[in-house]
Amino acid sequence: MPRHRIEIANAERATEKLIRKAIRAALRYEKVPFRAKVNVTVTDDAGIRELNREHRQIDAPTDVLSFPLLDWVDGQGDLPQPWDYDPATKCVEIGDVVISAQRAAAQAEEFGHSFERECGYLVVHSILHLLGYDHVDEGPRKALMRGFEEDIMLLVLGRQKKKKTEKG
């Protein structure tokens, strides 16, 4: 398998390690046959809200944003040409991921699981978007993407028990 390049800004060490593991698992699962480069920025709700407003015209924070550079659909597309590779890294940049750690922590609490599980899921979800998967409708494409997310998360975290809450 190709060695991918992952650049991460603003993440704590443990979170950075998890992000790398999730990206590598998703790219391996999808059998990406070339050296891919992914840029990840970890921010807060204010930072992601600004990006969401600028790029999607939605004035609200979100959990993760994906900015794909490949023109792929459902993990399929033209393989990169020689000129697509960065001469310095010998990688093809496939896109950028921006995660709100603040939103991930809130959602982990809301859903009753760990921050690691939520952050890993958001990274996997975003990488699938970079590879052309989408969930714009409730149909088979959404189900396909969700199944892949679950499979990849098993590679990232293994089986995890739900966090005990006051209600459960």
Mean pLDDT over 4-26 rounds to: 95
DSSP state of 161: P
Main-chain dihedrals φ then ψ at residue 94, nearest 5 degrees: -100, -10
- Tally the domains of the chain: 1
Structure confidence at residue 167 (pLDDT) = 40
Residue 162 has pLDDT above 80, yes or no: no
Domain membership of residue 149 as a residue range = 5-157
Q: Any idea what the CATH number is for the domain that residue 86 is in?
A: 3.40.390.30
pLDDT in tens, 107-150: 999 999 999 999 999 999 999 999 999 877 767 878 888 888 99
pTM of the shown model? 0.88
Calculate ∠ Cα 86-79-156, nearest 5°.
80
Measured CA to CA in angstroms, residue 35 lies from 15, 27, 63, 64, 126 at distances of 23, 10, 27, 23, 18
